[in-house]
Amino acid sequence: MPGSDVERSAMARALELARRGPLGVNPQVGAVLLSPDGEVIAEGWHHGAGTAHAEVDALAHADPDAVRGATAIVTLEPCNHTGRTGPCAVALIEAGVARVVYAMADPTPEAGGGAERLRAAGVEVESGLLADDAHALLSSWTGLQRRGRPHVTLKWAQSLDGRAAAADGSSQWITGPTAREDVHRRRGAADAIVAGTGTVLADDPSLTARNPDGTSRDAQPQPVVIGTRDLPASLRIHAHPRELWHYRTHDLHDVLRSLGERGVHRVFVEGGPSLQSALLREGLADEILAYVAPVLLGGPRVAIQDIGVPDISAAHRLRLDEVRRLGDDLLIVLRPDTSADEAAAANDPSEGVS
């Protein structure tokens, strides 16, 4: 049964190997091949789109004779479809693997079904070993599969009275250095930083992630700008170490769908108010980070504009996840409150009826 010390150790190693793979359109997957007496025969992981999947990578490093009767420990259910590579389930069957243990099922309809195919060929299959660890590793990828778009985090800094800038439009340094350091840490964890053309033209941001000492991080998120206006060559964004992706459109659904197709899992939206408000209006925000400074600005430069709320009954209800003090500022972390929708679905007599 899965869960023996040997298999748990092998799955932990497979998860470690999976983390070596890049984030992208395909999931991070690792595999370990074990002999019948529990010795490691070979290891493998997925190196990126178009390359061999983890199971095939491991098989390529193994003695074919040693693989017959072996156990394959894999972090994700072996795939059952032909894309740029063939089905991993078939590769394992043809190699003579006797047993497959995987952590979590493949959630994609086109790739799922590998377990059934293996069982039909007489291979013993077990699932669920270190499943929580696998789900944590693949949470951004599975979210992309479920939503059809990346996870979207909106971030803004505001005064206590809800302003994102002074009356003249100046907005730098509303919050203090501790809050700004937190922002850069979160930027560095994102796959892409997104801003509207209005913010880029007004503030000339670099859209980079920096270390506490001000130096650039080695790994930089992808810079993305949305809007139809031209961006002069003198802007700092053109000096970004990664090529700018400029979407000249107002269709945010199409932009996010395109980013997902390009392997972007997590989007960090830096502004401005027009873009942030449009994403809220379209129901495309998964997380909100509001950095609130103890300062009053007044004037018309509000942090959030029209989000399609004609009356109080249509208010966007949010769930408060965290409040943290950062120096003199507060970070408020919120997510859309879907409890009302979930309750309505649970009480809908037609729900679940086919």
> What secondary structure, in 3-state letters, does 265-329 show?
CEEEEEECHHHHHHHHHCCCCCEEEEEEECCCCCCCCECCCCCCCCCHHHCCCEEEEEEEEECCE
Q: Report the C-alpha gap between 299 and 116 in whole angstroms.
A: 63
The CB density around residue 159, as the number of other CB atoms within 10 Å, is: 23
Output the six-digit token pair for 103: 């952590």
For the chain, strand residue ranges (E) read 30-34, 40-45, 71-76, 99-104, 124-127, 151-159, 192-196, 222-226, 245-247, 266-271, 287-293, 318-326, 329-336
Q: Which two tokens stand for residue 117?
A: 């195919």
Neighbouring C-beta atoms of residue 295, cutoff 10 Å:
15
User: Which is the catalytic residue, given 43, 55, 77, 287?
Assistant: 55
Close Cβ partners of 286 (under 8 Å, ≥ 6 residues apart): 151, 152, 153, 335, 336
Distance CA 202, CA 24 (A): 32
Query: Which amino acid is present at 345?
Result: A
Is 55 assigned a catalytic role?
Answer: yes
What amino acid positions are annotated as catalytic residues?
55
